[in-house]
A and B are shown apart, each in its own frame.
Chain A
């Protein structure tokens, strides 16, 4: 129920469900900055559970359960793609099972025929419009309130405070979401706000599973191959539009084991299309610290949507591999490393994305509503089973 393309602030209210083990639920409305403990209390009250040893838990479509710590904020946006919130007494955690709807579309729900009727360029265009909107929403939070927040809590400086001061020195005061994401798990003062980045990250995995889901749902070999061709072309157009994130998300979806093992489908692709895929896939090559990707992105002019997983990975490594304080002095070398990633982010958005739409084959509203409401299977196990079914191993 989280709207895309809308900027979130800490006070923005979001609507979400909290489920019980028997899959009954209550629907709550809370600002993003509300801590998990508050959500838990309210849900327990609505669902008539006895307060006490209760846990707020994310249950993924795979069945995996992740306990959400009481202090966590942005609970609703922080869920995995098809994840759902549950509440349960500590001792009954084992009883939590995923909801039917978390499993994603069923065998009959593939959208292959719709995809066939839309041109690849048009799909890529509207995908990029949507992605760009989400990308632009990331960390518009002004540093002001956060600075005040932190300043009040001196003199025991937390990591975030040090960062805060360090970044003001370096002229950054609006990059908190990425930092907060990287710092997840550190004890922070203030209320970390990552809602917009969360939405963007979810979007990235949505695109990835979208390609894999639709191909696995196509039971007919030639249809499947046509879809694969479509996705590769969409990825190529995304790349042309500067949506590197979208392009590489789709390509990595096509490289997952469930899809890459479909030999018959790949064999039916024209050589030209396979070459296009090969070039795109090359950009995801992790060797020499993603050298090919970095070289490529370095040549691009803004507006660009960079591949978010690599950006976040860089920041995580900069953070975890380097100490913040050295002999009680702030490690500015580290701050520079982190700032480099943030600078890259800023450079990508230096110009806004304004490209007229391509000639249309379908109504604009129809394509837009399709790309903003993708239904996918985000469980590798299910995808693998479906893949085995459409092309059994010989």
Chain B
């Protein structure tokens, strides 16, 4: 079967309710919905530029519940890059990522350094109920040798940066999000920090 090499597949993993769908929808559609609708599995596409060509960024938004282990394996096999999302308001959600990380390691038994993985601490706008400090996320990322960012899908903080950073980590292709200048809208909300910020 011929492989569609023009696709770049990103898979978003994380526990239930940490905001995977919100992050993806904020990135793809620019919208944010209050309220929680559990996802089973959805995909989205975005046209990006890759090696000065056009290519499709295919984003798979997965389920947070562990009902479908077979689907998780399949997604890992098919994925080129991964975003692991936890919520800064739940330490448990960070812990649950370990199982997914192990599954990725096991399935992609090549040098993990070659596979782009971003760790994202979402809901960083919820300062009141924060359980996980920024530094803890950083440490975890260091242990897993991946990159880390705190994000908020609600305030659109670091969302685009998260995906751009992920694409930057891919060494085999040179990818950028914007096809031309029109994507650059004025961004609302607090100042954008590139990385390693700490909102308390």
Contacts and interface: CB of A to CB of B under 8 A. Distances in A.
How many interface residues does chain A have, given as a range? 10 to 19
Contacts of A299: none
A154 to B, nearest CB: 40
Contacts of A28: 40
B1 A27 contact: no
B40 A100 contact: no
Contact of A24 (B1, B29, B44): B44
A27 B42 contact: yes
A24 B45 contact: yes
B40 A24 contact: no
B43 A25 contact: yes
A25 B71 CA distance: 14
Contacts of A25: 41-43
Interface in A5-46: 15, 17, 22, 24-29, 46
A26 B29 contact: no
A43 to B, nearest CB: 10
Interface string B1-39: 100000000000000000000000000010000000001
Nearest to A15: B40
Interface string A102-145: 01001000000000000000000000000000000000000000
A22 B45 CA distance: 9
B1 A106 contact: yes
Contacts, number: 25
A392 interface: no
B41 A24 contact: no
A48 interface: yes
B49 interface: no
B39 to A, nearest CB: 8
A46 B41 CA distance: 11
B92 to A, nearest CB: 25
Contact of B1 (A17, A48, A100): A100
A48 B42 CA distance: 12
B58 interface: yes
Contacts of A100: 1
Interface in B36-67: 39-45, 56, 58
A253 to B, nearest CB: 23
A106 B40 CA distance: 28
A22 B43 CA distance: 11
A89 to B, nearest CB: 17
B40 A48 contact: no
A362 to B, nearest CB: 21
A48 B58 CA distance: 16
A27 B45 contact: no
A22 B41 CA distance: 16
A87 to B, nearest CB: 13
A46 B44 CA distance: 10
B174 to A, nearest CB: 24
A46 B40 CA distance: 12
Contacts of A106: 1
A48 B24 CA distance: 13
A3 to B, nearest CB: 12
A100 B42 CA distance: 17
Nearest to A28: B40
A219 B62 CA distance: 38
A184 B196 CA distance: 61
A372 B29 CA distance: 40
Interface of A: 15, 17, 22, 24-29, 46, 48, 100, 103, 106
In the A-B complex, list the 7 residue pairs whose CB atoms are closest, starting with the nearest.
Answer: A27-B40, A27-B41, A26-B42, A24-B43, A106-B1, A24-B45, A25-B43
16 contacts: A22-B45, A24-B43, A24-B44, A25-B41, A25-B42, A25-B43, A26-B42, A26-B43, A27-B41, A27-B42, A28-B40, A29-B40, A48-B29, A100-B1, A103-B1, A106-B1
